[in-house]
A and B are shown apart, each in its own frame.
Chain A
Amino acid sequence: MSLKAWIVTGAFIGGLAVPVLAAAGQDAVLAQYKTQAIAADPAFAGFSAKRGAELYKSSNSAGGPDTPSCSSCHTASPLKAGMTRAGKAIEPMAVSASPSRFTDIAKTEKWFGRNCKTVLGRACSAQEKGDFITYLSGL
């Protein structure tokens, strides 16, 4: 093959790989939470977008008074940009609007760790995390 043909082919494969890898990223994160969920409860029967939506919208009193809900910052619609209490914009949470969401396990874990404490006053379980991601991946 000529050099040009190599470049064209390479670019084509590369172009295909970006969305595939991104999806794989969310799957990989979900797979980790699934393993943890089964370890915690052998009767685990899969993640539920419905439970995820409930978590997203629920109003809580155990956390900080200014942050009763995930939607306090991420807004009622996960397809829209949110805003922190300090006025900084937050990219939408829905994967369809922000494809890089839930692709970096360290980042995702860091924010579940912080935000569950801030809103719920406790850590989230692996199942809650998986439900949340499943909900936001299907919008």
Chain B
Amino acid sequence: MDVVGPRYESDLIHTRPTRFLKVWDLPVRVFHWLLVTSIAVASVTGWLLPASWLQIHLIAGTVIGCLVLWRIVWGFTGTRYSRFRSFIFSARSTVTHLKDLMEGKAQREAGHNPLGALMVFALLGSINAIVLTGVAVLGGQFKQGPLKAFVSFAGAMNYREIHSVAAVVLLVLVGGHLAGVIFESWRTRENLATAMVTGMKSDGFAHEAPMAQSRTGVAVSVSALLAVLLIPGAYALTSLSPFGIAALPRNATWETECGSCHMAFHPSLLPVKSWAAIMSGLSQHFGEDASLDAAAKKEITDYLVSHSAESWDSMAANRLRDVDPARPLEITATRFWLHMHNDIAPAVFSSKAIGAKQNCSACHQDAASGMFAPQEISIPQEKTE
């Protein structure tokens, strides 16, 4: 086979000693490896671990969001090969690069080559989509975070779909990125992963240019400005009242009368029909007599019916309103409840510290609020006496 272009490393090594050039500046390298770490954490907590890991997932997601935002700033202010400008290639040069690759005569780039550059933008784009839809899911499903006042549960289910699909896309892209790095390292005989650690590449590039000065002052000022705007903004949004969740007025009659044998189950945990049926059958209430005088019965019925699952947009209300037609009075007979708790052994529920599955507040610290946030779950361990 004809050697058309110079076969870089091998040729150069014979002509002159290898010089090393700084290609990746420190901020880009730190960004890269922090991003790798936080995406690994977010992937493991999102795909593999139970919902109680949500808090770690959220921290990882927040770090990823900040990293990407910061990378965008640095894309306009960093040193030469950090700037987006240095790796935006025309369609034509991308096609040429691809052709050259196939003919085995592609040149070596100092920064990203045209295909690598496309990959970088695809990675950043999908990460952005994941972070943004993640915030929307958090807002609509769990009524937490800056979008909690704006997203419905039904909306969150759609965003969740996008969040999951985009996460799979990212996984595939990461696979492609790794394959590209391995291929390019083999092709140019230069370990590109090490280059992302040291920042150095041996010289002899197709388009070599001196390292441009970074505008670090501008980068820091813009980042500081973003922080000053975004952090208080996010806090302010987070303190808004959640979408579709009206403040529940207190009712002492309900609290004492329905809270003496079990916790007073939040009105949003069952639909109107179930509450009405429970309230009209109190003299035979799950094998016990729980009858009330007429006034208390009416007061509690009105209260439960007007704040029932249909009138709330929490995840629990949305899921639990779908009762088992054969046992419509029981929260613990709904498909959702059974699904969420099927890993928990009966012996755990009957343990001394819990007593029964109806004792929601033993494991859900926020059971009284009706929110059942994943971060508020902890199963009490039986004390060994």
Q: Using CB atoms and an 8 Å cutoff, list the residues of chain A in contact with chain B.
A: 64-67, 83-89, 113-115, 117-118
Contacts and interface: CB of A to CB of B under 8 A. Distances in A.
Interface in B338-368: 349, 354-359, 362
Interface in B248-274: 260-263
State the main secondary structure of chain A at its contact with B: loop
Nearest to A87: B355
Contacts of B287: 64-67, 85, 118
Contacts of A87: 262, 349, 354-359, 362
A114 B288 contact: yes
A113 B289 contact: yes
A93 to B, nearest CB: 14
B291 interface: yes
Contacts of A118: 287-289
A118 B260 CA distance: 15
B359 to A, nearest CB: 3
B289 A117 contact: yes
Please classify how large the interface on chain B is, using the bins under 10, 10 to 19, 20 to 34, 35 or more: 10 to 19
B290 interface: yes
A86 B290 contact: no
B289 to A, nearest CB: 4
B261 A88 contact: yes
A113 B287 CA distance: 15
A117 B291 CA distance: 11
Contact of A64 (B288, B291, B356, B357): B288
Contact of A88 (B286, B288, B289, B359): B359
B262 A88 contact: yes
A21 to B, nearest CB: 22
A66 B263 CA distance: 20
Contacts of B354: 87
Given A85-B356, A87-B262, A87-B356, A113 B291 contact: yes
A11 to B, nearest CB: 29
A80 B291 CA distance: 26
B355 A114 contact: no
Contact of A83 (B263, B288, B355): B355
B290 A114 contact: yes
B358 A86 contact: yes
B295 to A, nearest CB: 12
Contacts of A88: 260-263, 355, 359
A47 to B, nearest CB: 24
A53 B122 CA distance: 78
Interface string B274-308: 00000000010011111100000000000000000
19 contacts: A64-B287, A84-B262, A85-B286, A85-B287, A86-B261, A86-B262, A86-B358, A86-B359, A87-B349, A87-B355, A87-B356, A87-B359, A88-B260, A88-B261, A88-B359, A115-B289, A117-B283, A117-B289, A118-B288
